[in-house]
Amino acid sequence: MEKSESNRKLWEINEKIYKQKKELDEELKSIEIEKEQLKIEAESIKIKNQKLWEQSKLIHKEKERINKLRLEIEGKHKEITDSIQYAQRLQTAILPQKKNIDNFLSNWFILFKPKDLVSGDFYWFEESEKKIMFAAADATGHGVPGAMVSVICNNGLNRSVNEFKLEDPGEILTKTKEIIIESFEKSSKEIQDGMDIALVSMNKYPNKDGSREVSYAGAYNPLWIFRKQSLTIEEIKADRQPVGKYQFEKPFTTHKRIINKGDRIYLFSDGYESQFGGEKGKKLKASNFKKYLSSLNNESMDNQKLLLDKFFKKWLGNYEQIDDVVIFGMEN
């Protein structure tokens, strides 16, 4: 009986040990699985870390390339800006100085609004022994290319007066055209650049009654004379050809008019009237330009300049300026 009881207890102990062993084996198995999973995850993390490191190196390398490129672009931009600013100084140097015009004209203004730092439009003033000559010109293009053409055109006008001793506006433009064409013919490529212009010549000093004879010639750009007595603007039309190479070339026509004391004359490029703006985003047009200019007949020349500039800015609004602007106004 005692032996049987001992066997039973031993059996229970063995069974309990077996059960515990089985549980331990299952736990060990589970631990091994977890261990393997951790190993896989660790390997995965290692691979990801390696990829991240490689990506980090690539990003760092790309940042270095971008920074280098940025520095190169900034350097080139500075070179270009410096060159344009130098071109601006050169262009400013060839424009007539105010004191030179003041020697002969007491009431006058120039509204000069380049689209960019440098301009294809320019104004010109020169004197001979008996005459003064002045012009508002629009060389082909704007910006740096326009400025380069304007220098050639300016030089052509100067040579026509100083070297060839011309005073007649039509003859000046015809000779200037020859000089411009000759200058561009040195190029291996055909260049048809030139300028539109309104050019006036008059005696240095008015007659005893205050009147003057005005001689005018133009290439596309007209001359406007505001008559004080009639409060109207007389328009003298230009020749329909540029100062430059053209298929149907002919000598430029000189027109002569008498202006009385208080009459005003205006020379200009097409930049003012061609500007888009207003409520409907349309061109200003010559008719509206002329109408507004007529409304300023009681204003001094200095005030006219300020008001023309103000009107242009208001018309422009949020639109971009599309062309250079130059207006030369003078009261006799």
Instruction: Give the pLDDT of residue 240.
Output: 95
Q: Which of 143, 83, 145 minimizes the C-alpha distance to 321?
A: 143
The torsion angles phi and psi of 263, rounded to 5 degrees, stand at -70, 155
Instruction: Give the pLDDT of residue 220.
Output: 96
296-319 tens-digit pLDDT: 999 999 999 999 999 999 999 999
What are the CA-CA distances from residue 182 to residues 124, 162, 177, 185, 262 (Å)? Answer: 21, 18, 8, 5, 41
Give the separation between CA 156 and CA 171, rounded to whole angstroms.
12
What are the CA-CA distances from residue 332 to residues 58, 224, 291, 296 (Å)? Answer: 73, 13, 21, 16
Low-confidence ranges of the chain (pLDDT < 70): 1-3, 6-7, 10, 142, 187-191
Instruction: Give the pLDDT of residue 99.
Output: 92
Bridge pairing between strands 131-139 and 194-203: antiparallel
Instruction: Give the pLDDT of residue 40.
Output: 81
Instruction: Give the pLDDT of residue 2.
Output: 59
State both tokens at 42: 């660790």
Give the separation between CA 120 and CA 125, rounded to whole angstroms.
17
Q: Which amino acid is at 143?
A: G
Instruction: Give the pLDDT of residue 164.
Output: 95
23-47 tens-digit pLDDT: 777 887 888 888 888 888 888 888 8
Class of domain 97-331: alpha beta
